Copies of this chain bind each other. A is one copy, B any other.
Amino acid sequence: MKTQRYLPFLLTLTCAVVVAAQEPAPTPKLNLMPVPASIEFHQERLRIDSNFKVATRGHSDARLQAGIFRFMKRLEGRTVLTMAPGFAPDDQMTHLIIHAQGPGKSIPSVSEDESYHIDITNRQALLSAPTVIGVLRGLETLLQLLDADRTGYFFPGVQIDDKPRFPWRGLMIDVARHFQTMEVLKRNLDAMAAVKLNVFHWHLTEDQGFRVESKKFPKLHQLGSDGNFFTQEQVKEIIAYARDRGIRVVPEFDIPGHSTSWLVGHPELGSAPGPYTIERRPGIFEPALDPTREEVYKFLDTFLSEMAGLFPDDYLHIGGDENEGKQWDRNPAIQAFMKQKGIKDNHALQAYFNTRLLKILQKNGKKMIGWDEILQPELPKDIVIHSWRGTAALAEAAKKGYYGILSNGYYIDLIHPASSHYAPDPVPANTTLTPEEAKRVLGGEATMWAEWVTPETIDSRIWPRTAAIAERLWSPREVTDVDDMYRRLGVISIQLEELGLTHKKNREMMMRRLVRNDDIGPLRTLVSVIEPVKEYRRYQMRPQTMLSPLTGVIDAATPDAEGARKFSWMVKEFLGDGPRYQLYQSELSQMLSEWQTAGASLGPLVDRSPAIREIKPLAQNLSQLGDIGLEAISYLKLGMPPPRDWRETTMVKVDEAAKPYGALEFVVVSGVKQLVLAAAEIKP
């Protein structure tokens, strides 16, 4: 579900200001993310050295053993200790006892018990869980508990009782607008498991690409994908990989709209004669399946039955969003059909289409999930509404008896900060739902729409921010301390790299390519305080197609620009320390001087590197912001009021310097303004 039409809704919600929880958050000063449901500390420490041994108790199977093997490899990787392979006896000499009471469901399910218990003493750690998936969740917690002191590595003494708040905690990856490789999916599944997400929603078809092999209708992938699709063998490999990590795989086939790529090979399914070509632009397009012809349902019956056999999950996502019905309006046969059947509008026609789809899914033992638009009274109560509209729409559905999941507020493609995704709650504290109704809100999904991501950049658009969403969906509602979230996010972000994620390391690589040199210092300084413009402004300001290179400065820049976050924090401390203004004064001045220098050095760098030419004005403005910040600080230091019109002329300069170029904008402007305003308030 893309939201270009509904921008105001989203804007309101994703820009919601995050307020600190009123009661003190129970977040412990540990690096756990998501924060467990219950945790108690004590002073003991279980030491870890190369003699570290693991035993299993109770149920054991291949999935459990593979999970423990991966755990040990990561533990070894971080500690650089060689530990003995295999399992030790279940006795008092063994450091970690893992007790799975049973295998859990053979196919990961929304009703899986993911709870686990950890008890760590000086002598031994016990991880127990009703299911293997519970154990897998606990192993991730253990890896996050790993700590060190002068003596060496250890697990701190804790008692943890943990289970998720919501049973549906997903990440949707759109592999259609830009294709993503097997490696991208695998490393992201590993990362999902690391933060206890449990649904990989695989957005497989779009106007811009049909990405799964169909043996029944091979023209779908052959003509609709530029050769970039997943074979059925690869699909099975991903499903097995996900299952091994306790993750469900929910495929999405987005119909009746968003279907241009289907029609390239099968124009006969369309509501207009065609021919069709793969769409290369972003946006909402007219092509839609024809819901009035029996051959279309026959086709869908065969195709969806094939896919239902391939994907074992209980649910199948049918999309259903953003069909504007323009092709339907113009097709006389469709209009005649509607008249004959008494179908009053396009919404009703789509409802008719969905009812037919539902029968196909039911025949194949699948439950339907689709975007908000599919909600209609005739549908049975086991469908799931996937809401991009928000908690109100979700609550309304729940009151009617429908299940739902939230994605409004979790659109990670929009380049908002982690804090903005951390705030929205599928069942907020002020909910009007009864406890029973609230249970129908199953959870939520982060959505990685893929207009502007390639395998090289996608990790930096998903991580680490999605860990904040994972916490929202797993941890108690009361866990809302934004500062502590960011602190832990920094730690988790580095841990995610051990799984092969490239969200940190590709940034400098891309800068080296842009300037064809190792000396990227000044560019790095600039990129640390700018971000791509938010929402859908990128395309408006810097039009590209799905075939364009995504290798520009905008692609190296990331949400939550680190230098900017550091700057804001230092400004807050510095101003909070008034009228002395000593706290972080020298660090702040140093940072502002760096901006001056970097801005100046970028000039010659831009001259040698046409690929970064678009940032030339940003370089000048970086120097300007540095100048202004230092000027303000010097007034504050001296306690000397600036000249009369200084505030006004300076704020004009800041606004001028704040303009975006190359669809990149400074995220340090409000900090600089705060400095200016504080200086302007100095009394003579």
Write the residues of chain A forming the contact surface with B, with a CB cutoff of 8 angstroms: 73, 76-82, 85, 148-153, 183, 490-491, 494, 497-498, 502, 504-506, 508-509, 512-514, 516-518, 544-545, 547-549, 551-552, 607-611
Contact = CB atoms under 8 A, between A and B. Distances in A.
Nearest to A512: B494
Given A148-B609, A497-B512, A548 B77 contact: no
Contact of A150 (B505, B509, B607): B607
Contact of A79 (B152, B505, B610): B610
Given A497-B509, A508-B505, A509-B504, A80 B551 contact: yes
- Across chains A and B, which 3 residue pairs bring their CB atoms closest together, nearest first? A82-B548, A76-B549, A505-B505
Contacts of A78: 513, 516, 551, 611
A671 B578 CA distance: 50
Contacts of A504: 509, 512
Given A148-B611, A497-B512, A502-B505, 8 more contacts: A76-B548, A78-B551, A79-B611, A80-B514, A153-B610, A494-B516, A504-B509, A508-B508
Contact of A82 (B85, B490, B549): B549
Contacts of A151: 610
Contacts of A498: 513
A493 to B, nearest CB: 9
A400 B198 CA distance: 66
Contacts of A494: 512-513, 516-518
21 contacts: A77-B513, A77-B549, A78-B611, A79-B610, A80-B514, A80-B551, A80-B552, A80-B611, A81-B549, A82-B549, A148-B609, A148-B610, A150-B607, A152-B610, A153-B610, A183-B183, A494-B513, A494-B517, A497-B512, A504-B509, A504-B512
Residue in A149, A506, A549 with the greatest tally of chain B CB atoms within 10 Å: A549
A517 B495 CA distance: 10
Nearest to A508: B505
A609 B80 CA distance: 11
A183 B509 CA distance: 18
Contact of A491 (B516, B551, B610): B516
A65 B549 CA distance: 19
Contacts of A153: 610-611
Contacts of A549: 73, 76-77, 79-82
A518 B490 contact: yes
Contacts of A544: 82
Nearest to A82: B548
Nearest to A545: B82
Given A76-B549, A494-B517, A506-B505, A608 B148 contact: yes
